[in-house]
């Protein structure tokens, strides 16, 4: 199978760099184009982007000339079929439809189109069938290409734990408090003066995203639309002095009595299409359950499954919602962002959309 040629829109930021890192040696994708704002366009990537990941930037990518984030320029300079979007939401809102219209498949991490009725919001282990919306989208919008999105970082890791519990026990109510890493706000998003020896109990738009995206993802595709899940989610989101890895304290009601050990088995045994088909970026286990009383911890668990697994621990009964409470950690920049889009793209290939 020849590799699918791909580009990254907004390649110079934190999520953009994670995309580059995941795509450099990807068995199915060939990284051919990197775009950024006009200020960076024309420069070699190594100069336009201050590389901050631990693993070194590969030389051939370092020398790629950054393009403007414009479908015509990308078409002119590179022959790619799929673009990953790490664009800020306001830019994404304007630019992603232009790429879709021009025939590109867009696998987007931006929030701009996640909640549009005809745009799939997908976690491959959870709702792969929602890709069915692509045809609806093309029909309605008259596009050659299309947009597929993945959820917000804090939503993804929560939903990966909710799905198996829901299937086994039924879940109708969720309360979640997050402790989110600073990388989630982008490289310069959280000044050190704001967060050293401190907690910031507010992240703009985050609670709304967790409360609405979850319902769409866990909803059912009914013809040409998604019937949202019958679920209530209430979130409180907080920023903490941690570099990478979001921690979430989750409380869920269960319709059927759920024993913590049983829940641990259900979570640990969870598998989806990515595992069944062995998609390249899929972790062996989407959810890893730790038995220690003081795990998961972001510094030790964020790299589990190369950043694609969510680690759960401290599963215990919750007397208020008459269900369970537990803690989960996921890598916000991998499973919660770039890795999510890449896995979506692998699903697209596997499903024949590319």
Residues 34, 67: contact at Cβ < 8 Å? yes
Considering only residues 217 to 246 of the shown chain, the ones binding a copy of itself according to CB under 8 A are 232-234, 236, 238, 240-243
Q: In 3D, which of 201, 214, 209, 204 has the Cα closest to residue 174?
A: 214
Q: How far apart are CA 174 and CA 246, in angstroms?
A: 17
Smallest distance from a copy of itself to CB 121, Å: 21
Catalytic residue (one of 130, 246, 328, 331): 246
Asked if 154 is part of the footprint of a copy of itself (rule: CB under 8 A), the reply reads no
Q: How far apart are CA 141 and CA 348, in angstroms?
A: 19
CB nearer to a copy of itself: pick between 140 and 292: 292
Is 218 strand, coil or helix?
coil
Structure tokens at 96: 């992603």
Cα dihedral 335, 338, 339, 344, rounded to 10, equals 110
Asked if 70 is part of the footprint of a copy of itself (rule: CB under 8 A), the reply reads no
Give 223: exposed, middle or buried? Use CB within 10 Å, 0-12, 13-18, 19+.
Answer: exposed
Is 220 strand, coil or helix?
strand
Considering only residues 287 to 316 of the shown chain, the ones binding a copy of itself according to CB under 8 A are 293-300, 303, 313-314
CB nearer to a copy of itself: pick between 235 and 345: 235
Query: Does the annotation mark 153 as catalytic?
Result: yes
Asked if 247 is part of the footprint of a copy of itself (rule: CB under 8 A), the reply reads yes
User: Binders of a copy of itself: how many residues, by CB under 8 A?
Assistant: 55
Q: How far apart are CA 73 and CA 78, in angstroms?
A: 8
Site string for a copy of itself, 179-218 (x = CB under 8 A): x--xx---xxxxxxxxxxxxxxxx----------------
- Give me the active site residues, please: 153, 246
Residues within the interface to a copy of itself (CB under 8 A): 14, 52, 54, 173-175, 177, 179, 182-183, 187-202, 232-234, 236, 238, 240-243, 247, 249, 251, 293-300, 303, 313-314, 318-321, 325, 327
């Amino acid at each position: 199978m020849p590799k699918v040629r791909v580009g990254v829109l907004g390649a110079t930021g934190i999520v953009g760099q994670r995309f580059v890192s995941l795509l450099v040696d990807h068995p199915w994708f060939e990284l051919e184009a990197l775009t950024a704002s006009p200020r960076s366009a024309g420069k070699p990537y190594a100069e336009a982007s201050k590389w901050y990941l631990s693993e070194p930037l590969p030389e051939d990518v370092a020398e790629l000339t950054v393009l403007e984030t414009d479908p015509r320029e990308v078409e002119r300079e590179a022959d790619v079929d799929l673009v990953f979007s790490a664009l800020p939401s306001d830019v994404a809102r304007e630019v992603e439809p232009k790429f879709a219209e021009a025939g590109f498949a867009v696998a987007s991490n931006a929030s701009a189109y996640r909640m549009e009725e005809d745009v799939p919001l997908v976690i491959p282990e959870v709702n792969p069938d929602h890709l069915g919306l692509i045809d609806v989208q093309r029909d309605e919008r008259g596009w050659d290409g299309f947009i597929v999105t993945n959820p917000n970082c804090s939503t993804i890791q929560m939903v990966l734990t909710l799905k198996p519990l829901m299937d086994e026990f039924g879940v109708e109510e969720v309360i979640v408090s997050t402790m989110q890493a600073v990388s989630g706000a982008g490289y310069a998003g959280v000044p050190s003066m704001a967060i050293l020896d401190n907690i910031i109990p507010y992240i703009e738009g985050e609670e709304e995203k967790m409360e609405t995206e979850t319902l769409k993802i866990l909803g059912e595709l009914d013809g040409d639309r998604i019937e949202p899940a019958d679920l209530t989610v209430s979130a409180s989101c907080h920023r903490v002095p941690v570099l990478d890895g979001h921690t979430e304290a989750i409380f869920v009601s269960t319709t059927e009595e759920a024993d913590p050990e049983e829940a641990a088995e259900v979570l640990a045994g969870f598998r989806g299409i990515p595992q069944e088909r062995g998609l390249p970026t899929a972790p062996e286990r989407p959810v890893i359950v730790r038995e220690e009383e003081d795990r998961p911890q972001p510094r030790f668990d964020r790299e589990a499954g190369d950043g694609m697994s969510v680690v759960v621990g401290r599963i215990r009964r919750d007397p208020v919602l008459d269900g369970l409470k537990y803690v989960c950690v996921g890598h916000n920049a991998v499973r919660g962002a770039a890795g999510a889009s890449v896995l979506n793209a692998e699903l697209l290939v596997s499903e024949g959309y590319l």
